[in-house]
Amino acid sequence: MHVDGIPYRTVWLAPDEPGLVRIIDQRKLPFAFEIEDLRTVDAVAVAIRDMHVRGAGCIGATAAYGMVLAAMEASAAADFDSAIHQHAARLVETRPTAVNLRWAVERQLAAMAACDWAGEKIAAAERSARAIADEDADACRRIGEHGLNLIRQLAAAKALGEPVNVLTHCNAGWLAFVDHGSATAPIYAAHLAGVPIHVWVDETRPRNQGARLTAWELGQEGVAHTVIADNTGGHLMQRGLVDLVITGTDRTTYTGDVANKIGTYLKALAARDNGVPFYVALPSSSFDWEIADGLREIPIEERGSEEVSHLSGQAPESDVEVEVRLVPPGTRTANYAFDVTPSRLVTGLITERGICDANGAGIRAMFPERF
Ligand code: MRU
Beta bridge partner(s), residue 323:
312
Q: Whose CA is nearest to atom 15 of ligand 1?
A: 172
Q: Which CATH superfamily is domain 144-370 in?
A: Translation initiation factor eif-2b; domain 2 (3.40.50.10470)
Distance in Å, CA 158 to ligand 1 centroid: 31
Which residue out of 170, 177, 208, 267 has the highest number of ligand 1 atoms within 8 Å of its CB and is therefore the one to mutate?
Answer: 170
Ligand 1 nearest atom to the CA of residue 259, by list position:
10
- Residue ranges of the chain assigned to CATH 3.40.50.10470: 144-370
Which of 87, 150, 368 minimizes the C-alpha distance to 254?
368
Q: Which of 250, 257, 288, 339 is catalytic?
A: 250
User: What would the 3-class secondary structure string for 187-229 be?
Assistant: HHHHHHCCCCEEEEEECCCCCCHHHHHHHHHHHHHCCEEEEEC
Q: For the chain, where do the domains classified as CATH 1.20.120.420 start and end?
A: 2-135
Q: Is 204 in the pocket of ligand 1 (CB under 6 A)?
A: no
Our answer on whether the CB atom of 168 is closer than 6 Å to any ligand 1 atom is no
pLDDT of residue 317: 87
The residue type at 100:
N
Amino acid 312: pLDDT: 95
pLDDT at 272: 98
DSSP 8-state code for residue 299: P
For residue 250, indicate whether it is catalytic: yes
Residue nearest to atom 9 of ligand 1 (CA): 261
Q: What is the pLDDT along the chain (371 residues), one digit of tens a residue?
A: 999 999 999 999 999 999 999 999 999 999 999 999 999 999 999 999 999 999 999 999 999 999 999 999 999 999 999 999 999 999 999 999 999 999 999 999 999 999 999 999 999 999 999 999 999 999 999 999 999 999 999 999 999 999 999 999 999 999 999 999 999 999 999 999 999 999 999 999 999 999 999 999 999 999 999 999 999 999 999 999 999 999 999 999 999 999 999 999 999 999 999 999 999 999 999 999 999 999 999 999 999 999 999 999 999 888 899 999 999 999 999 999 999 999 999 999 999 999 999 999 999 999 999 99
Tell whether the torsion through CA atoms of 90, 91, 96 and 101 is positive or negative.
negative
Architecture of domain 2-135: Up-down Bundle (1.20)
